[in-house]
Chains A and B, each alone.
Chain A
C-alpha cells in the first residue's frame, strides 16, 4: 500500500511538474468560445464548434475552450470574466444575445480581443463577424423553385429580425427567378432551437400541401418532418445530407473555421483590427451543401452558374427591381440594395406569405 501511494505521489509530481513547465513556456494564444446552445445541437452551435475544431487543427499556436448553453445577460458576463482571469486573450461570442455582455466586459479589458458574431456593437478591441448567407439562401431558393410541384414552400423561421427576413427574402428571390408561381409561407417559432415547435410548423406546412420545407431554425426537426412525409427539405447550418440523402435538396452551410483561422492568424501577426467582417461565398465562410440524390443535372448546372457569377461579382441577389409583398417598389431597376439596408431589412419581398410584427 505504501508503495502504491509513493508511486501515486511520483505520478502527481511529474504531472504537475510538467504542467508547470508547459505553462511557463506556453505562448499559445488562448481563445474561448461561447455557444448559445449545446455544442452538439446539430445546427448553429455545432457549426461554430466545428469551426473551433477546424481552427485548432490548422493553427498550431492556439488553445481553445468553449462554454455551451450560455445564458444571455449577467451569467454570460461572468463566464467571459472567468475566462479572462484564466488567461484567455480572445473571446468569440457566437450568438447575437451576447452582444451587450461582451460590449461591457470589453471596456474593462482593453488587451483582450472580442469577436462577436452577428451583432453591430464594436470597440477598439471588439469586432463583429458574420457571413453573407443570403447568397447561399438565394442559390438554395433556385433549387427549391425548380423542384417544387405544388408551388407551396414552407419556411420555418425563428425570429422576425433582419438576419432571418433577409434569409427568407433571398430564398424567395431565387425560387421565383426560376418559377414565378412559387409562394413561400412563413411560420415564426420565436425560438432558435425548439424541435417540437419546428416540427409542428413543418407538419402544418405539410397539411397545406407544401412539398418543400426550408428552415432558419437550428435543429433538424423540420427535415425529420419532411422525411416522414416523403417531401423535400432545404438544410441549414451544417450539411446533413448524409443523414437525409433523399430528403435534403441542398443546404446552406456556415464555415466559421475560415473566419476563426483568419482572426487568430491576424492576432498572432499583430495586424488584427476591429472590423465588421461580412464574408460571402467568395471567402468560403458560407456555401451550398451537397445536392440531394434526386436533384437533376439541369438544376445543378443552373445553380453552379449563378454561384460563379456571384463569386465573380457579376450577379447581385438584391438587384432591382424588387417589390415587397404589399406591392411597393423597394429597389429600382438598375440599383442594388445597400449593405446597410440589407442589415436592417424589415419587409418581405413579393411571393412571401407571412407577417413581420410591427415594432
Chain B
C-alpha cells in the first residue's frame, strides 16, 4: 500500500468516523446527565432522512444538515418527556424510539429512494495546517462538518470538565437529589442534555446521507447508532476519547474494503462483520480498564428523578 493510498483511505476513515463521533458525544452528555438513551439509532435515522430530504428540496446541504440536526433533537424530546417528566423506563423508551425512527423513515422515505443529491459539502484545505505532511492530508483537507466535529469534541470536553455547566451536569448524573438541594434544576439539565444528544445524533445521521453516502435508503444507518452507544463506554464518557474511538471504527470500515481490493483470502463476510466484532472486543477491553481505573458510569444513569420523593 503506497502512502498516497493510505492517506486517501485514512481521510475516508475520518469521514466515516465523523458519522459516529457526533452521536457518541451526544450520548456521552445525555448519559452524564443520567439519561440513558438507546434511541440513538432511531434519532440518527430521522436526522439522516430529514437531512437528505431538505437538501434534496433546497439544494443547500447546510440547510439540510441543520434540518437533520433539529429533527434529531425533536425526536429526542419524546424520550426526554417519557423518561424525565413521566419517569418511565428509559430502556424501553429508548428502544421504542429506535423502532419508531426506523418505521417512520421507512414509511416516509419510500418516495425518496434512489434519488441522489447533486450537492454536498465541499472539502476545504485549511491554511498552514493542511501543509503538515501526512496528518494535514488526512485531517485538514476535509469538509466543514468534519471540522465542526473537531471543534465540538474540544469545546464539549472543555464544557464538561472546566465550566460550571459541566459541574452541574455531572452532579445531576451522579446525585440528582443533592444537585437539587444545591439549587440546580434537575429537570432542566436533563431535558437540555437529552435534547443535545438528539441534536448530535441527528448531525451524525445527516452527515451520513448528505456528506458520505449521499443517498437515502431504508435503515441506512445500519447499526451505527448502536456502535455509538458502545463507543460511549469505550470512551469512558470522555468526549476527547470518543474521537479516538470513532476514528478507529472509521478505519476498520475503510480497511475491510481495502483488504478485499488487495485480494485478501479472508472471506468478505468476515470482513463485513469486522466493525461489529471490534465493537465487542473494544467493550470487553474498555470494561476491564474501567474496572481497573475505578471509572464507572454516572451513578444515577437510568434512574428517574422526582422532586417530590424524599
Spell out A's residues near B (CB within 8 Å): 38, 40-42, 46, 154, 160, 185-188, 190, 193-196, 199-201, 203-209, 219-221, 224, 353-355, 357-358
**CB < 8 Å: which of A154, A186, A207, A353 contacts B9?**
A207
| Measured CA separation A199–B110 after assembly (Å) | 20
Closest CB in chain B relative to A231 CB, distance in Å: 13
State whether A185 and B268 are in contact (beta carbons under 8 Å apart), knowing that A196-B222, A204-B258, A206-B8 are contacts in the complex: no
A219 touches B12 (CB 8 A): no
| Measured CA separation A186–B254 after assembly (Å) | 15
B215 touches A357 (CB 8 A): no
Q: Which residues between 232 and 283 of chain B lie within 8 Å of chain A, taking CB atoms?
A: 253-254, 257-258, 260-269, 272
Q: Which of B9, B261, B267 has most chain A Cβ within 10 Å?
A: B261
Residues of B within 8 A of A357 (CB): 267-269
A204 touches B263 (CB 8 A): no
B268 touches A355 (CB 8 A): yes
- Report, nearest first, the 9 A-B pairs whose CB atoms are least far apart: A207-B8, A188-B268, A357-B267, A204-B257, A195-B215, A42-B114, A353-B263, A187-B260, A38-B113
A–B complex contacts, Cβ < 8 Å, 15 sampled? A38-B114, A40-B113, A186-B261, A196-B208, A199-B212, A199-B213, A200-B254, A204-B258, A204-B261, A207-B9, A207-B12, A209-B5, A354-B263, A355-B264, A357-B267
B260 touches A203 (CB 8 A): no
Residues of A within 8 A of B8 (CB): 203, 206-207
Residues of B within 8 A of A201 (CB): 257, 260-261
Spell out B's residues near A (CB within 8 Å): 4-5, 8-9, 12, 16, 110, 113-114, 116, 208, 212-215, 217, 220, 222, 253-254, 257-258, 260-269, 272
| Measured CA separation A354–B12 after assembly (Å) | 22
Question: Quick one: closest B residue to A187, CB to CB?
Answer: B260
Q: Which of A186, A188, A195, A209 has most chain B Cβ within 10 Å?
A: A195
A196 touches B220 (CB 8 A): yes
Closest CB in chain B relative to A213 CB, distance in Å: 11
Residues of A within 8 A of B261 (CB): 154, 185-187, 201, 204-205, 208, 353
B254 touches A204 (CB 8 A): yes
| Measured CA separation A219–B215 after assembly (Å) | 10
Residues of A within 8 A of B269 (CB): 190, 357
Additional pairs, 8, CB under 8 Å, beyond known A154-B261, A200-B12, A208-B261: A185-B263, A190-B272, A193-B217, A196-B217, A208-B5, A220-B114, A224-B214, A355-B264
Residues of A within 8 A of B215 (CB): 195-196, 199, 219, 221, 224
| Measured CA separation A154–B260 after assembly (Å) | 11
Residues of B within 8 A of A40 (CB): 113-114
Question: Quick one: closest B residue to A218, CB to CB?
Answer: B114
State whether A186 and B260 are in contact (beta carbons under 8 Å apart), knowing that A41-B114, A196-B215, A204-B254 are contacts in the complex: yes
Closest CB in chain A relative to B26 CB, distance in Å: 21
Residues of B within 8 A of A46 (CB): 114
State whether A188 and B260 are in contact (beta carbons under 8 Å apart), knowing that A206-B8, A207-B12, A220-B116 are contacts in the complex: yes
| Measured CA separation A207–B222 after assembly (Å) | 24
Residues of A within 8 A of B110 (CB): 38
Question: Quick one: closest A residue to B221, CB to CB?
Answer: A196
Question: Quick one: closest A residue to B272, CB to CB?
Answer: A190
Question: Quick one: closest B residue to A198, CB to CB?
Answer: B215
Residues of A within 8 A of B217 (CB): 193-196
Closest CB in chain B relative to A4 CB, distance in Å: 34
| Measured CA separation A11–B264 after assembly (Å) | 68
Q: Which of A40, A160, A204 has most chain B Cβ within 10 Å?
A: A204
Question: Quick one: closest A residue to B220, CB to CB?
Answer: A196
Residues of B within 8 A of A224 (CB): 116, 214-215
| Measured CA separation A51–B258 after assembly (Å) | 37
Residues of A within 8 A of B267 (CB): 355, 357-358
State whether A219 and B222 are in contact (beta carbons under 8 Å apart), knowing that A196-B213, A354-B260 are contacts in the complex: no
Question: Quick one: closest B residue to A199, CB to CB?
Answer: B213
Residues of B within 8 A of A353 (CB): 261-263
A203 touches B12 (CB 8 A): yes
Question: Quick one: closest B residue to A193, CB to CB?
Answer: B217
| Measured CA separation A221–B213 after assembly (Å) | 8
State whether A355 and B263 are in contact (beta carbons under 8 Å apart), knowing that A194-B217, A195-B213, A196-B215 are contacts in the complex: yes
| Measured CA separation A169–B250 after assembly (Å) | 32
| Measured CA separation A330–B251 after assembly (Å) | 38
| Measured CA separation A188–B260 after assembly (Å) | 8
Question: Quick one: closest A residue to B270, CB to CB?
Answer: A357
Question: Quick one: closest A residue to B263, CB to CB?
Answer: A353
| Measured CA separation A221–B114 after assembly (Å) | 9
Question: Quick one: closest A residue to B106, CB to CB?
Answer: A69
